[in-house]
Amino acid sequence: MPVVSMQDILADAFGRRYGVGAFNIVNDLTMEAVLAAAQETRSPVIVQVSVKTVRQMGARLIRLMFAEMAGRVSVPATLHLDHCPDRKVIEECVAEGWNSVLFDASKLTYADNLAQTREVVALAHAHGIAVEGELEAITGVEDGIGDRYGGPVVALDLALRFMRETGIDSFAPAIGTAHGLYKGTPKIDFERVSEIVAAEPRPLVLHGGTGLSDAVFHELIARGAVKVNISTQLKITLADGFRSYLAAHPTEYDPLKLLGAVRKDVQAVAANFMRTFGSAGKAA
Ligand code: 13P
C-alpha cells in the first residue's frame, strides 16, 4: 500500500481511540519486521527513526527503503523522525519526503521553543508533513538525545497556548513516563492527558512505552495519548535474538538463517504491542 500521511493515521486512531505503535527501527531488518507485524495484525503503523540512525544511514536511503517496504504490505504505514533538536536534519528529512518529524526544542526557553516550532510547522506543512511538538524534556536519554532527569512541567494554559499558536499536529507532554527501562513503578499523570485533550482535542504522544503495563497503555490511549512510542524493547529483543540464536546454533554460519530468526523475534514483539494498543484489525 502506498505510504499514508501521519495526519491520516493519527486522526483515525484519535477518533476511534486506539493506539498506534511508533516503533524505533535501526536498520532494514527491524523496519521490515515492524511492517510485517503490522501486516500480520492488520494494524496501521508508524515507523520511527532516531537522529542517530538517520546520521548513520542517511535520510534518503531510509525513505527509499521505507517506500519500497511499505509498498509490499497492505496496511497504512508512515515514516517519522523521532526527537530532533537539529533543524538541519529536519530540513533534510522534509526535503527527502518523510511524513512526520518531532521537533524537540524542549531545551529552549518557552518563547524560543514556540517561535522555532512555528517555523518548523510552516516548513513541514508546506510539504504536507506533520509535526510533533514537545515542550518539556521526557525523562531519559535515547540514542544520545534527552534529559536524564526530566525537566519542569509547564502550566496547562501555557501548554495549550503552545499547541494553538504553533499549529502542531500532535503533542508530547511530560506525564511521568521515561525513555529506557523503569527502575520502579512510574507515577503517571493520567489527568494531565485528559485535561489537555479536553481543552485541545488533538492526538497526544506517549513516550517511554517500554516497561509500561497493559492497564497503563489502555488508560492513556483511552484518554487520547494514541501515538505510542516503543524503542528500548525492540533493541533488547534484537540483541537477545542474536545472542540466543548464536548460543543455540554454535556451528551455524548462514547469515540469512541468523537474521531470519532475529527478524521473527522482533516481529513477534511488535505484533504483541499492536494487539495491546488495540490497533490490530483497524487497518482499512
Ligand atoms: P522507550 O525506549 O522507553 O520504549 O521509549 C521510546 C520513545 O519514547 C521514543 O521517543
- Alpha carbon of 183 to those of 148, 154, 210, 211, 216: distances in Å? 13, 25, 12, 10, 16
> Total domain count for the chain?
1
What string of DSSP letters covers 69-136?
Answer: HHHTSSS-EEEEEEEE--HHHHHHHHHTT-SEEEEE-TTS-HHHHHHHHHHHHHHHHHTT-EEEEESS
Single-letter residue type at 277: F
Cβ neighbours of 253 (radius 10 Å):
7
pLDDT over 70 (residue 203):
yes
179: Cβ below 6 Å to ligand 1?
Answer: yes
Residue 207 three-state SS: coil
Determine if residue 145 is left, alpha or beta; phi over 0 gives left, psi from -120 to 50 gives alpha, anything else beta.
beta
Cβ–ligand 1 distance for 32 under 6 Å, the answer no
195 lies in some domain? yes
pLDDT in tens, 108-142: 999 999 999 999 999 999 999 999 999 987 777 67
Ligand 1: residue whose CA is nearest its atom 1: 208
Residue 47 lies in a domain: yes
Residue of 228, 230, 269 to test ligand 1 pocket, by largest number of atoms within 8 Å of CB: 230
Residue 193 CB neighbours (<10 A): 21
CATH code, 18: 3.20.20.70
Residue to mutate (ligand 1; options 148, 229, 273; most atoms within 8 A of CB): 229
Minimal CA–CA distance to 192: which of 212, 172, 209, 208? 172
Q: 231 CA to middle of ligand 1, Å?
A: 5
Q: Tell me how far the alpha carbon of residue 141 lies from the centroid of ligand 1, in angstroms.
A: 9
- This prediction's pTM: 0.96
Q: Can you tell me whether residue 36 is helix, strand or coil?
A: helix
- Phi/psi of residue 57, each to 5°? -100, -25
What whole-number percentage of the chain has pLDDT above 90? 91
3-state SS assignment for residue 264: helix
Share of the chain above pLDDT 70, in %: 96
Hunting for cell 532516531 — which residue is that?
50
Q: What is the pLDDT of residues 143-161, one digit of tens each?
A: 766 665 566 688 999 999 9
Could you tell me the distance, in angstroms and rounded to a whole number, from the CA of residue 220 to the centre of ligand 1? 15
- State the distance from the centre of ligand 1 to the C-alpha of 109, rounded, in angstroms: 24
For residue 129, what are the contacts with CB-CB under 8 A and spacing of at least 6?
6, 94, 98, 99, 100, 101
Q: Rounded distance, CA 47 to CA 45, Å? A: 6
Residue among 195, 107, 212 nearest 152 (CA): 107
> Ligand 1 centre from 49 Cα, in Å?
11
Q: Ligand 1: distance of its center to the CA of 181 in Å?
A: 9
Give pLDDT, residue 120: 98
To the nearest whole number, what is the mean pLDDT of the chain?
95
How far is residue 52's CA from residue 156's CA, in Å, rounded to a whole number?
32
Mean pLDDT, residues 252-273: 98
**CA 264-267-265 angle, 5° bins:** 40
Residue 107 lies in a domain: yes
Which residues belong to the active site?
A: 82
User: Of all atoms in ligand 1, which is nearest to the CA of residue 181?
Assistant: 3
User: pLDDT at residue 269 above 70?
Assistant: yes
Look at the alpha carbons of 157, 159, 165, 169 in this order and tell me if their dihedral is positive or negative. Answer: negative
Q: Is 229 in the pocket of ligand 1 (CB under 6 A)?
A: yes
Stretch among 31-40, 77-86, 137-146, 254-263 having the lowest mean pLDDT:
137-146
**CB-ligand 1 contact for 139 (6 Å cutoff):** no
Please give the number of the atom of ligand 1 that sits closest to the Cα of 179.
3
Position 117 scores a pLDDT of 98
Residue 283 in domain: no
Looking at residue 62, what is its pLDDT?
98
According to DSSP, residue 50 is labeled -
State the residue range of the domain holding 30: 6-277
- Kindly report, residue by residue over 18-30, the tens digit of the pLDDT: 999 999 999 999 9
DSSP state string for 154-201: PPHHHHHHHHHHHT-SEE----S-BSS--SS-----HHHHHHHHHHS-
Chain segment 59-90, per-residue pLDDT in tens: 999 999 999 999 999 999 999 999 999 999 99
Q: What's the one-letter identity of residue 18?
A: Y
282 lines ligand 1 (CB under 6 A): no
Closest ligand 1 atom to Cα of 138: 8
